[in-house]
Structure 1
Amino acid sequence: MAFKSIRVSDLTGKELADEDVVTVVVRSENKVFDASAEELASIKRLANVVELELRRANGETEQVICTQAEFDKVVSADVLAKADSTRGRRTGFSPLRSA
């Protein structure tokens, strides 16, 4: 006996071929759903934007989306070029160095 899995759009309930499935992650809501590219085509995309996550000392985080121009007014290209990557350790950090 075999089983066949059928994918359907969470937006319309329409049956989708495996190669037509687009998984959408809504980061602000921590939700995931499936749809087709055709169903998502009417969503207007924003160009030249920067997505930021602001992490406060008390643990609160805030997601901010701003234009590239507004970001460039505050953060110079030189500062960004010298900034640490989100991957790995911060510059100058050593787990072997005692505080």
Structure 2
Amino acid sequence: MAIVSRKVSDLSGQEGTDDQFASVVVRQHPKIDQPKTLDVLATEADQFKGISDLVVLEVTTPGGGKREIAMRLTDFNKLGANMDEVVENARGTRGRVPGTRVGNGNG
């Protein structure tokens, strides 16, 4: 007796070999409380289209809690005047604060 393992797409149920499959991680969905992985044929993975005008934000609250928010660019731009300029002039997440210099001020 032999044990036979088959790999089938979670989308179509089509069978394929390991080298024909891609993994797709669903990080957020109203029906799940933790990330889930879908096995799909690489050709099926091409069906997943991104949203080109999406802004992804990470909000950290004073208590240290974090949440990720995705919103359309048009909605983000309604949050304040000249949001393109606000974002371009904002400080980076790494490195020095704009306008500061290296050194201890002694020379």
Q: TM-score when scaled to structure 2?
A: 0.55
Structure 1's unaligned 5+ residue stretches are: 1-5
Q: Residues 81 and 44 (structure 1 numbering): CA distance in 2 closer, same or farther, change over 3 Å? A: closer
2:75 paired residue number = 70
Provide structure 2 residue ranges, at least 5 long, that are not aligned to the other structure. 29-33
Determine if contact 1:8/1:35 at 8 Å carries over to the other structure.
no
Q: TM-score, normalised by structure 1?
A: 0.58
Quick one: distance in 2 between partners of 1:8 and 1:25? 17
Instruction: Name the residue aligned to 1:14.
Output: 15
Deviations 1:63-95 (A, max 9, x none): 222111011122511111122334x335269xx
- One-letter identity of the residue aligned with 1:25: V
How many residues are treated as equivalent by the alignment? 87
RMSD: 3.4
Return the alpha-carbon distance in structure 2 between the equivalents of residues 24 and 66 of structure 1.
21
Percent sequence identity is 24
Structure number with bigger Rg? 2
The 1:85/1:26 distance shift into structure 2, 3 A limit, reads farther
**Rounded Cα–Cα distance in structure 1 between residues aligned with 2:22 and 2:56:** 22
